[in-house]
Structure 1
Amino acid sequence: MREHGDIQGVRRCVRAAALAIGGAAVGLTALPAAAHAAGASFAPAVITAAGPGATSIVAADLDGDRHRDLLTPNFDAGTLSVLRGDGTGRLTATPPIAVGAGPADVAVADLDRDRIPDVVVANLIDNTVAVLLGKGGGALAAPVSHPAGARSGDLAVGDVTGDGKRDVVVTDHDSVGVLAGDGNGGLAAPRTFPAGTDPTDVTIADLNDDARPDLAVTSVATGRVSVLLADRAGGFAAPRSFPAGTGPVGIAVADVDRDRKPDLIASDYLGNAVIVLFGNGLGDYPNTRTFATGAGPADVVAVDVDGDRKLDLATADVHTSTISVLTGDGGGGFAAAISLPAAAQHPSEIVAIDLDHDGRRDLATANYTSGDVTVLLNTATIRR
């Protein structure tokens, strides 16, 4: 676990090290584990062991049984945990897999085009990206490591070079690196692009409606979000920078005001809030709004949790060990946060996924200090 001054460059370092920083409580509506408010309703939290220093979480059907599984990289142990889903919301842990030193982020994608999901892990300490090719039935090949540059603590996967092959984008020191995929599971050496000071999180989306994937990158060090618009040569233009609170960490892309233009939502870890940056469809974000969350929101997802067809927000709050849910009004506004106990220590990342096949999006967090995963099954009434 690193000190606060050393963690500003990478989101998972922020999460891991920030646990030592005091976080003042903020005004929230406190609810029991089985929560019902403003149309949002969740069953009590269920905890499944993962591994020491669970920093990130992703959902995917890894074994082809049509049930979603959850994967977490375990920073302190140098391992990857795969928690098998049974379609009812229950998870079963499998033996951890060694992936490298300081695994901090994970993604699942088909890198070798065999229609079997592969796993990609960013290793912060040894500055590598590990690729574990899927063999079918949930089996994974031994990890193959690729150099990824300094502070490779967060990643995203997508075809950013426009050749029909999935690439890996990793955060680096003052830049992002693109490791071009060869379509067979291999990755080229990173090609770097400026991305602002100490990038913390990166996501891929078309932000200016030109059918090319762009990048959005947070920086907890500067309190800004950088947007890198794709050029026509498989690269990115110089970053455009927009204010996003005091210290943004997580980033999500969604149209929260239903104007058919992608907005950015940043979890302001140092400001105990989410910052909504409203897009103009051209890759610019001239207007923002701020909404309070629990203390130390490390990640955010945009999802309709109450079944009203309007996007809501959910955050993983490190200092209060809670999950904040903010129901949306469909116009870019959000109600006061509902605070749900994570029933674990220091949730660091959150995903929204239907784990029990009931048509509702459930919430799951990776919890760093307790080394486990929290699942909150969604029990909201679906409105037809």
Structure 2
Amino acid sequence: MTSLNNKLKELDENNKHIKVSIIGAGLMGKGLVSQMMLVKGMEPSLVVSNKISDGVEAYTLAGISKDDIVIARTLSEINIAMESNKYVVSDITEYATKPNLVDVVVDATGVPDAGARIALDSIENKKHIVMLNVEADVVVGPILNKMAKKAGVVYTGTAGDEPGSVKEIFDFAEAAGFEVLAIGKGKNNPIDYEATPDSVREKALKSKLNPVKLASFIDGTNTMVEMAAMANGTGFIPDIRGGYGPTTEVNDLPNVYSLKEEGGILNKYRIVDYAHGVAPGVFAIVTTSLPQVHHEMQFLKMGSGPNYVLYRPYHLTSLETPISIAKAYFYKEATIAPIYEKTVAEVITMAKKDLKKGERLDGIGEYTVLGSIDTCEVAKSENLVPIGLINNNAVIKRDIKKGECITYDMVDLDTNTTIYKLRMEQEKRA
């Protein structure tokens, strides 16, 4: 990290900057713009948002004068403004990945199909792509990562989001010689499977958060998506559908995440899960085969063993994204990305309420569906639909009961989306 810091300082001393395009100016996008203004050698050059006012606000919150902000609606206007060292706002997403001076693109939309399109366009335009959009990654991350490598650019999840933070601990543990048994994240609110944008609206608006996004946290879908990203980035899998989600404390995590015959909850090791009572942290459960290492871990007050917890008590979401931007730019290295050509875990679709034949669905964090994690093998054998393929053009072909898993033969999907086409290609290649 010191080397990365020095490289950024050196860039800044030479009056050069990593030019970044950010799509999405919600809570995460605005936070990233402000944080990036504090990072040497890096510049949030372009903000693309459906609402121009949100893009402008992202800059003004970061201390940028309106005189230095240009609103552009053509690629030529964007290029000219960037060459004049202006901060640029646009509401045309297709231009986010095309400007000449952009080095790295960040997708902060959280919309699966939008994320697939943005990532694909970034790769085709030879730009590194940092995905704050885990919702797209867990559906088509493997094929996008493969395309990025072929194009000579980096496809990566972000530092600061739980999957990226877990992967940092995982990599540290493996590099240090430990055996990793389980990885996971904390969850800071009880799951309410019936949460909708309406039921969480007041709380969301107080936090300046999109009610759809907050509903996806509370109904558990976001947690399932994050665990799937952890799985796809490490090869670990959920032990059971939906995970365990025990309520525990940090010091007890090694006991909880041990095998059943050892007094824990697990059927097997090399799993991903989540736990109440340890949020906002992330963790890895590790062990070792050598007695001297056990002795030293116990001397270091890491517990009595044989399992130990490596715990990070925070994750700073988009405020850490500059680290992933810099790693991609300087080292062509991903913070977290799928390690195989297909998914290891899937976020399958479940009915949030009773659904009637002919009814249209919506998407993550909305009114009709929610997600649960399972292994890729189970999802494939049961013909289950990844939730990232569901949108408001998907139509139910028969009545479905609340809590029932949705299979491909139950729904007419929107086959015209980028994410659907990429997913079909991914399954052919795998």
Please indicate, yes or no, whether the TM-score normalized by the shorter chain is above 0.5: no
TM-score after normalising by structure 2: 0.27
Q: Which has the larger radius of gyration?
A: 2
Higher share in helix = 2
